[in-house]
Amino acid sequence: MTGGDQPILVTGGAGFIGSNLVDRLAGEGHRVIAYDALSRPGVAGNLEWLQSRHGDRIEPIVADIRDEARLADAAVRAGAVFHLAGQVAVTTSLVDPRDDFSVNILGTLHLLDALRTRNPEAPLIFASTNKVYGDLADLDFERDGDRYVPSDAAIRAHGIGEGRPLDFHTPYGCSKGAADQYVLDYARSYGLRTAVLRMSCIYGQRQMGTEDQGWVAHFLIRALEGKPITLYGDGCQMRDILDVADAVDAYLAAWHAIDRVSGRAFNLGGGADNAVSLRQLLAHIGDLLGRGIDVTFEDWRAGDQRYFVADTRAAQAALGLGARREWRDGVARLARWLADARGLAIAAPREAAA
């Protein structure tokens, strides 16, 4: 591991996962460069929150990942890099694939090349996605009540592993997948110290969830505001969801273990224990709020998987990750945080302190 007196660079440091990661790093005493264009609505508030908590330990750089000179200036000073800035929504990528390409692929290449030419010792951990595995259309699924389950018993027990062939769907899948492969290849071709975390759905505090991305927070926000929720497809699609604190643990563990895990990609999600269908999540939210949720249905969206649950055994073993927060508890915590931020009262029990 490197770091020492050098600051840690977190691109997308004002975003949902980025701000939680920056908070943890600064809390551990690191100086952190939070590099973010603040293009996602609401994330400027995350940056203010970080600065109010950590003062001078946070060095904000409000700039685009495509600003090569400013990015390189930050990258060459860094003891380690966490690359989370990105165009994050499948829907947006379909509307403007060129912008998605330039942010996710070119932005990542600028960063890798700055490290290759001027700071090759700095580890880099990249935020990839389970979308690199495509829609899993070759697998058989059965409807089991209000969820889909895989027919294959091994997948049902453990989820989808890293051995699954890559199959990029949608411009977002292509751009994140290409960036994922560049990050791994810069370890192979140039000896950079890089690792990739292919994430399932991450949820938690500081998430500005919208219909396009961040669906757990989005469902909660709509339900808290008494607004209807649109389900695309039948709502039986299954996802493994992971609390952001557990995701941050994995990012830090990948950094600390970089000498062992360089050049590897890991699936990171809630795993089979935290697999839930959209309908199950809505039922839980209804229980938390003590009222029914108004739901409408629309057609499936492009690239939507009927099922994705990460097989997290490789990440657990290689990164030494501990127990994950149980999803019902994590969602209750997020409901409380969102309600408090809106000055709303909800009946959800106060969960144990973190």
- Are residues 206 and 273 in contact, defined by beta-carbon separation less than 8 angstroms? no
Choose between 248 and 346: whose C-beta lies nearer to ligand NAD: 248
Of 14-22, 254-262, 276-284, 343-351, the segment contacting ligand NAD by CB under 6 A is 14-22
Of 38-46, 151-159, 273-281, 302-310, the segment contacting ligand NAD by CB under 6 A is 38-46
- Are residues 44 and 14 in contact, defined by beta-carbon separation less than 8 angstroms? yes
Distance between alpha carbon 282 and the CA centroid of its chain, in Å?
Answer: 21
* Using rule CB under 6 A, residue 280 touches ligand NAD: no
Question: Cα angle vertex 28, ends 273, 241, to 5°?
Answer: 20
Match 């992971």 to its residue by tokens. Answer: 242
**Residues between 289 and 348 with contacts to ligand NAD, criterion CB under 6 A:** none
* Using rule CB under 6 A, residue 72 touches ligand NAD: no
Choose between 3 and 177: whose C-beta lies nearer to ligand NAD: 177
Among 129, 175, 274, 277, binds ligand NAD (CB under 6 A): 129
Nearest approach, Cβ of residue 151 and ligand NAD (Å): 26
* Using rule CB under 6 A, residue 132 touches ligand NAD: no
Among 9, 10, 14, 285, binds ligand NAD (CB under 6 A): 14
**What backbone torsions phi and psi does residue 22 show, to the nearest 5 degrees?**
-60, -40
* CA-atom Rg of the chain in angstroms: 19
Annotation says 232 is catalytic = no
Question: How far is residue 104's CA from residue 243's CA, in Å, rounded to a whole number?
Answer: 24
* Using rule CB under 6 A, residue 39 touches ligand NAD: yes
Question: How far is residue 84's CA from residue 167's CA, in Å, rounded to a whole number?
Answer: 22
**Residues between 165 and 194 with contacts to ligand NAD, criterion CB under 6 A:** 176
Q: Of 35, 133, 148, 172, which one is the catalytic site residue?
A: 172
Choose between 64 and 304: whose C-beta lies nearer to ligand NAD: 64
Nearest approach, Cβ of residue 140 and ligand NAD (Å): 25
| Binding flags for ligand NAD, 137-166, as an x/- string (CB under 6 A) | ------------------------------
Size of the site for ligand NAD (CB under 6 A): 28
- Are residues 330 and 269 in contact, defined by beta-carbon separation less than 8 angstroms? no
Residue ranges with strand state E in 32-154: 32-35, 58-61, 80-83, 124-129, 141-144, 147-150
Name every residue whose Cβ is closer than 8 Å to that of residue 160 and which is 6 or more positions away in sequence.
130, 133, 136, 267, 308, 309, 310, 311
Among 127, 155, 275, 310, binds ligand NAD (CB under 6 A): 127
* Using rule CB under 6 A, residue 109 touches ligand NAD: no
Question: How far is residue 328's CA from residue 48's CA, in Å, rounded to a whole number?
Answer: 30
Choose between 103 and 195: whose C-beta lies nearer to ligand NAD: 103
**What sign does the CA torsion over 247, 251, 256, 259 have?**
positive
Of 51-59, 84-92, 138-146, 148-156, the segment contacting ligand NAD by CB under 6 A is 84-92
Question: How far is residue 127's CA from residue 185's CA, in Å, rounded to a whole number?
Answer: 15
Nearest approach, Cβ of residue 162 and ligand NAD (Å): 15
Question: How far is residue 310's CA from residue 201's CA, in Å, rounded to a whole number?
Answer: 10
Which amino acid is it at 60? P
Tell me the catalytic residues.
172
Q: Which residues bind ligand NAD (CB under 6 A)?
A: 12, 14-18, 36-40, 43, 64-66, 84-88, 103, 107, 127, 129, 176, 199, 201-202
